[in-house]
Amino acid sequence: MTVIAPRGDRSLKVLPGSQRTRLRPYPVFLYGSGVASFAAEFVWSFLWITVRLLAEIVRGGAHAVQVCNPPDIYWPLALLCRALGRPWVFDHHDLSPEVYVARVGTPNRWVTRILTAFEWLTLRTATEVIATNESFKDNDVRRGVNPDRVTVVRNGPAQAEIARRTPASVVDATPVIHTVVYLGVFGPQDNVEGAVLAADALTRLRGRGDWRFVLAGDGETAPVLRKLVADRGLHDVVEFTGWLDGPEVDELLHNATVGLQPDLPTRMNHLSTMAKTLEYLGRGVPVVAVDLIETRRSVGEAGMYVPNGDPAEFAGAIDTLLTDPARREQMRTIGLARFRDALSWEHQADAYVGVWRRLLAKRLRHTEGARIPAPRAPADNLATTPRHAHAGPEAYRADAP
C-alpha cells in the first residue's frame, strides 16, 4: 500500500504499525479559510496527488486506488484510472456540501451547487463506493449510485488497538475528580465553543471542586477557544492537551467520567458517525450528545441525549451523570458491549476486504505470488489513504465520520 497525503512527520517513510505501507507525502503551504484560498489549496493538492499517483502507475505499483474526501475533486483521475483498467473506490466519509454549509453558516448557493455536482461526479465515476454508515449510503443511492455498488464500512478503532483494563465498578470507585472529555478536531463545524460554554454553565450548577473539563485535540478555532476560556475565567476547570498519541488517548479515556459530543443538529451531523464517539464507546465512557440520527444508531442507551445542543442542556446532562454513578455504570456496560459486538473495526474488516477481494481477484490471479490479505488489514498495492488509521503516530485527529 502507498499512502498519498499532505505532509506530516517528515521522518516517517513507512506507516507505524504496518510492514509495507509506504508514505508518499506532499507539501502544503496554504490552508484555506475562504472560497479563493480553499480553491487554491484544492488545486495544489490535486496537482500533487496527480503527480504522485501517475508515478505509482508508471512504476507498476498501483493495482487500484482508494480516494477519500473532502473535497470531491478527484473524479478526473477516476476516469483515467478506470480507462487503464484500475478499480477506483471512493471512500465517502464526509458529506462535502454539508461540511461547507456547516463551516460558513451562510453558504453561497453557487459554491453549494458546485460541491454537490462534484459529489455526484465523484460517486458516478467510482467503480464502487464505501459509505461510513447507512445514512451516507442512502445519500449515495439518491445521487444515482446502484445500491449494489455501495458497501457500508463503519470507521472506528479496533479492539486490539485499545489498551484493556479491568477497572473496579464505577459504583464502587467514583473518582474524587471527575473528568469530562472532548476528543477531536477544533473546527468551526465541531462546536467546541459549546463545550467551553457548557463548562461555564457547569460551574454554576455544581461549583468547581470535583470535576475538570479536558479538551484533547487542536485545530483552527483553538486560539478563539483559549481566549474564551480566559475571558470566562475557566483556567482552573478547562485544560487543553493538544494532540495525543494512542497510549495517551487510552490513558485519558480510561479515566474519563463522561465523553462529550457537542455537534449541533445540522443535516451533516444528523447523517454522520463521529469517530470521537466510537472512541468513547470503546473505553466504556458514557456519552452526552444531541439526539442525532446516526449518533443514536451508534450509541443507543450508552448515551444521554439533549434536544438542541444549548450549553445549558449539555451542562445539565453532564451534572446528572456526575451525580449518578449507577447510571454511568449501566451506560459503560452498554457502550462496551455495543462496541465489542458491532462497532469495532473487527466487525467492519470483512466487508471492507470483501470489496477488494472482488475488485482485485482477476488482476491478482495474473500476478505471481500476489494474494489478497485476510480481514483486519487493508488490501495491498493500493495507491492512496487507508480506510482506517486510528490515533495516528504523531497526533490524534478524531473527527466526524
* Contact between residue 113 and residue 89 where contact means Cβ atoms under 8 Å apart: no
* Distances, alpha carbon 325 to alpha carbons 169, 171, 328, 337, in Å: 9, 5, 5, 18
Query: For residue 173, what pLDDT is reported?
Result: 56
Those residues whose C-beta lies under 8 Å from the C-beta of residue 160, and which sit 6 or more positions away, are 346
Going from the N-terminus, what domains does the chain have, and what CATH number goes with each? 2-158+344-365 (3.40.50.2000), 162-342 (3.40.50.2000)
Average pLDDT along the chain, 401 residues, taken 10 residues at a time: 82 82 85 74 90 91 87 93 94 90 85 93 96 95 95 90 64 74 93 97 95 95 96 97 92 96 94 94 97 96 97 98 96 96 93 93 60 45 39 33 39
> Which of 130, 128, 66, 121 minimizes the C-alpha distance to 94?
130
> Which of 133, 136, 167 minimizes the C-alpha distance to 299?
133
- The secondary structure element, H or E, covering residue 297 is helix 293-299
Those residues whose C-beta lies under 8 Å from the C-beta of residue 69, and which sit 6 or more positions away, are 90, 91, 92, 93, 94, 96, 122
Query: For residue 394, what pLDDT is reported?
Result: 30
Query: For residue 371, what pLDDT is reported?
Result: 54
C-alpha cell at 189: 463545524
Query: For residue 9, what pLDDT is reported?
Result: 72
Of all residues in the chain, what percent are helix, strand and coil, respectively (each to 5)? 45, 15, 40
